[in-house]
Structure 1
Amino acid sequence: MPPSTLLSPSELSYLHSSLSLDLPIRPDARSPTTFRPLVAETDLLPTTNGSARLCFADGSEAIVGVKAEVERTIGASSTSSDVFARGEDGDGDTKMQSAEEEMNEERRRLARGKGQDSWIEVTIDMPGFARDDDGVVVFLAQMLQEGLVADEGLRDRLWIGWGWHWRIYVDILLLTTPNSYPLPLLSLTTHLALLATRLPAPISRIDEDPLFNDDWDAAEPLYPPSGSAHASKPPFTLLVISVEDNIFFDPSREELAVADAVCAVTVGTIDAPVSSGKRREGTPKLRLLSLRIIDPPARLAAATSGTEAEDDQGAWRPARGGMKRAVVGKMVKVVLEVGGVGEEVMTGLEGFHDG
């Protein structure tokens, strides 16, 4: 989806030159890793398990709702009914709390590797696209779902017991016509919605038909909060561009117009707290989930118009060829390193949820 721009060829050339400097100058004076201001809120849709709304400074706005339903797992194997046969020979009242904690821990252990990709569904509704099978809509939905299913921790959390699981539906609505490539907006809103998602606490054993606590205050977060024994965060996708050897996060419409290459970097967390080095205690360690190269808008426009090979069409022409391997490596490093862009984004989004 190449964004439209009203810049002339000479203005595009000037912008490209400014972004190519050793100390690059962005049109809005941001540093290469600084994001534009945004406004967000969570838990705004009362009939969902989790929801969020996010608005970028350019006016682009999206809302995401997450719904969860219990389903029977086709072809699931059964197990012996004595998996949780413990603590019943003593005082049940005094052992109830410890037995419940033990059951939850055992449930997490047994769930590892049992999650399935089909338990997660992502749908997107965008202005100007009446059909949900349009190529642009399908591509964006596939990229978002790719990151969610790559997060094995999310799939395993949907496992309830032998023969039952949660199916979650992530419904994304883009409320405004996008002024830039909408992937980061949709991804960050989805991240916040999943961070706010809660599921009813199970009170049945894993070899029984599922039974849940009907007290919503006792519902368990889909992603355990920071500082807990199994702290984790939903994945998110960042859009990164390169101009010559410089990289920039959260590109504006004008910056996308002169990008030499565009890359979508999806990161998630490792399901364990880390307290070493410079990382804050309880902050999950980041890991790379997927990396996608997206055709720059300028190159797509040139290929469509058939003027790429002509030298006299303007003061600036899009670069040819792919991304340099060193640039790709630099992008990933800046996102994943301790105290890097990935941690900054994750901490900032968690602040919206806590607020």
Structure 2
Amino acid sequence: MVLSVTEKLYLYDSLTSVPSVRPDGRKPHQFRPIEIYTDFLPSSNGSSRIIASDGSECIVSVEGKVVDHTAEGELIHVEIDIAGQRDDSPEVESLTSLLKKVLEPRGGIDVSKLRLTKRYSFKLFIDVLVISSCSSPISLISMAIYTALNTTYLPKLVSSFDDLEVEELPTFHDYDLEKLDLSPPVVFVAAVVGDNILMDAAASESEVSNNGLVITWSHGKVVAPIRSVGLSGSGAKGFSFGVLQKAIKMVEDHAPEVLQALNNS
């Protein structure tokens, strides 16, 4: 629903007040309710489906494949599809680039946990489908990837780890599976409205926001990438360093609670 000029001004004044007054009564750090379903795709090693209260919906599938890591360039491959958008659209390419950076080994996933032998590793193919999205889908996608990876099981290796001298593929137990423990990062999107920070902004809140901040949480701390992102159709405006500090502090204070809720889903 597109807001009129009067409605935008009223909402903007409400959100920039101290304390901010959100239309649904939420606190600045509070997320809307979400539904999470896992392990529902039988052909995948891990899967997750997240439905937000505004109707936004995202599905993630994780599949593992054995590759020769001495010849393979990457062990994490992310593919994003957004309903109604081309694969080469700016939003899809931007989201794919961001998530690849989030999940890269330096600050995200520890790919050494994918190592099978001295020559072979599992390669993870993470396929994301955004069925609908009323605002920026970055955080929704990130949470879906997090829950999918946390429910991913891969076959248990039974052959030798030291395989450099022999020409054989790894062999696995017929039935036994091991849970993949990667501790994946989560991306939070904060809307900047005046000098206030709002987590999980609704579509109307995004429409009047001055800017947006993408903040990555990994292994108990804020890590790169941290970047601005335009949430409203009018583009992004500048903000002070103090606003950035406030957003980082909000993520540091509340990210553990969000991850605990995701882990208990």
Give the structure-1-normalised TM-score: 0.69
Give the one of 180, 192, 197 matched to 1:222: 180
Q: Distance in 2 between matches of 1:127 and 1:162?
A: 40
Paired residues of 1:259 and 1:298 also in contact (CA < 8 A)? no
Q: What is the number of residues matched between the two proteins? A: 259
| Equivalent in the alignment of 1:60 | 56
Paired residues of 1:266 and 1:291 also in contact (CA < 8 A)? yes
| Equivalent in the alignment of 2:227 | 292
| Equivalent in the alignment of 1:328 | 244
| Equivalent in the alignment of 1:125 | 81
Say if 2:88 is the partner of 1:138. no
Paired residues of 2:211 and 2:232 also in contact (CA < 8 A)? no
The aligned amino acid for 2:111 is R
Q: Distance in 2 between matches of 1:222 and 1:289?
A: 24
Name the larger-Rg structure: 1
| Equivalent in the alignment of 1:172 | 128
| Equivalent in the alignment of 1:235 | 185
Paired residues of 1:268 and 1:289 also in contact (CA < 8 A)? no
Q: Distance in 2 between matches of 1:117 and 1:261?
A: 35
1 or 2, which has the higher helix percentage? 1
| Equivalent in the alignment of 2:166 | none
Give the structure-2-normalised TM-score: 0.92
Give the one of 3, 19, 22 matched to 1:23: 19
Listed as ranges, the gaps of 5+ residues in structure 1 are 76-115, 224-231, 270-284, 301-318
Give the one of 41, 47, 52 matched to 1:51: 47
| TM-aligned CA deviation for residue 42 of structure 1 | 0.5
Residues 57-111 of structure 1: CA distance to partner in whole angstroms, max 9, x if unpaired? 0111111100000011235xxxxxxxxxxxxxxxxxxxxxxxxxxxxxxxxxxxx
| TM-aligned CA deviation for residue 148 of structure 1 | 1.0
Q: Distance in 1 between matches of 2:94 and 2:33?
A: 27
| TM-aligned CA deviation for residue 325 of structure 1 | 0.8
1:50-89 equivalent positions in 2, closer than 5 A? 50-74=46-70
Q: Distance in 2 between matches of 1:117 and 1:25?
A: 49
Q: Distance in 1 between matches of 2:109 and 2:6?
A: 49
| Equivalent in the alignment of 1:10 | 6
Change (3 A) 1:73 1:289: same
Q: Distance in 2 between matches of 1:134 and 1:296?
A: 17
1 or 2, which has the higher strand percentage? 2
| TM-aligned CA deviation for residue 299 of structure 1 | 2.9
Question: What is the RMSD of the two structures over their aligned residues, measured on CA atoms?
Answer: 1.8
Listed as ranges, the gaps of 5+ residues in structure 2 are 164-168
Change (3 A) 1:295 1:151: same
Query: Secondary structure of 1:342's match?
Result: helix
